[in-house]
Chains A and B, each alone.
Chain A
């Protein structure tokens, strides 16, 4: 295996480990608290729930993109 390929593979595995830890913490802390509130909102006010769906999925995507880009840069020591 070429040293460049090996380096890329190692940094990718490192990224996955760091990201996996962050995601696990996210599941247990955030989704645990959000779950009941969203289920309640879905029953009580479906229009607000629909808007919350769009806001949450876009908001999470933007934050995750920042996190993954940050991890990519941190572990590789250079910008993508």
Chain B
């Protein structure tokens, strides 16, 4: 890890820039393809080379901002960003993140934050993976029953076996109703979008990172946003919410911006490659490939919980 080690004076650590660039590159690919921040990998990766947890969390948020700018710009060029939806969601996310952070403070005062957060994160990550396997498998079976589709990649029809739930959510008559022409949604209550983004923000504040692992599935299944658009819009929304998180952590002295800048050089290439790759996969396939991502988080939390060691 000390190959060509460079001194980072803000966090007082010596880290190889090659290591940071490689980690950034890998997380960039994940982010560009799935629309997730990759905090469940970046945090432990920074911790593994001796950075304190508070710096790992804050620096990771700063890196997420940079990576999401690159990936969102690429997705915007591919027509995968719904700006109107992203801006509305940013408001709910910031509110949810604050509530999540307050819950953490409350658990901290009770002295059981590590145990409670570990158990909840395992349950959440595992449930998301299980649900997405089940849903994607059902959708693929449904498509085969209908005779399948000859179109491949993003041009294939983005079907979901939860279309019934989506229609039900779209009919919730809570004023004001808004339309999202870019996402093909004729009318949906503004409050439904705010609640969905608030839940995403709550997870972000409570479990850390951008919480794309929960926001992206909710956008697809509850709001009925096509998968490609959900990935791009989620990244755009993460720019705003992670910027807020970075500022908040930087004020508390938890951000080594130099480490984030170096990681971001690798992420810039990875994020572009990830975004381009989405063109070659249909919606259910992207969702199915997403499944191992939360499971990596489960493995890391279980390791920490049972061994007492941090990676």
Contact = CB atoms under 8 A, between A and B. Distances in A.
A23 B258 CA distance: 14
B257 A57 contact: yes
A64 B268 contact: yes
Contacts of B138: none
B251 interface: yes
Interface string A51-76: 11110111011101101110010000
B269 A68 contact: yes
A54 B248 CA distance: 11
Contact of A51 (B239, B247, B262): B247
B154 interface: no
Given A60-B261, A60-B264, A39 B9 contact: yes
Interface stretch (B65-73, B94-102, B107-115): B65-73
A36 interface: yes
A1 B247 CA distance: 48
B104 to A, nearest CB: 20
Contacts of B74: 65
Interface in A23-69: 23, 26-27, 31, 34-36, 38-39, 42, 46-47, 49-54, 56-58, 60-62, 64-65, 67-69
A54 B269 contact: no
B258 A31 contact: yes
B269 A19 contact: yes
Contacts of A4: none
B71 to A, nearest CB: 9
B62 interface: yes
A19 B260 CA distance: 18
Nearest to B239: A58
A9 interface: no
Contacts of A80: 77, 276
B136 interface: no
A50 B9 CA distance: 16
A53 to B, nearest CB: 4
The secondary structure that dominates the A interface is: helix
Nearest to A50: B250
A27 B17 contact: yes
A16 B9 contact: no
Give the bracket for the number of chain A residues in contact with chain B.
20 to 34
A46 B21 CA distance: 27
A57 B66 contact: yes
A65 B70 contact: yes
Given A54-B247, A65-B69, A35 B264 contact: no
B255 interface: yes
A50 B63 contact: no
B19 to A, nearest CB: 13
A50 B239 CA distance: 16
A50 B61 CA distance: 12
A45 to B, nearest CB: 11
B6 A27 contact: yes
Contacts of A26: 265
Contacts of A23: 21, 265
B258 A34 contact: yes
Interface centre among A15, A16, A39 (most CB of B within 10 A): A39
6 contacts: A53-B62, A54-B243, A54-B247, A57-B257, A61-B67, A67-B268
Interface of A: 15-16, 19, 23, 26-27, 31, 34-36, 38-39, 42, 46-47, 49-54, 56-58, 60-62, 64-65, 67-69, 72, 80
The 10 closest A-B pairs by CB, nearest first: A50-B250, A61-B69, A64-B268, A39-B9, A61-B66, A57-B66, A53-B257, A65-B70, A23-B265, A53-B250
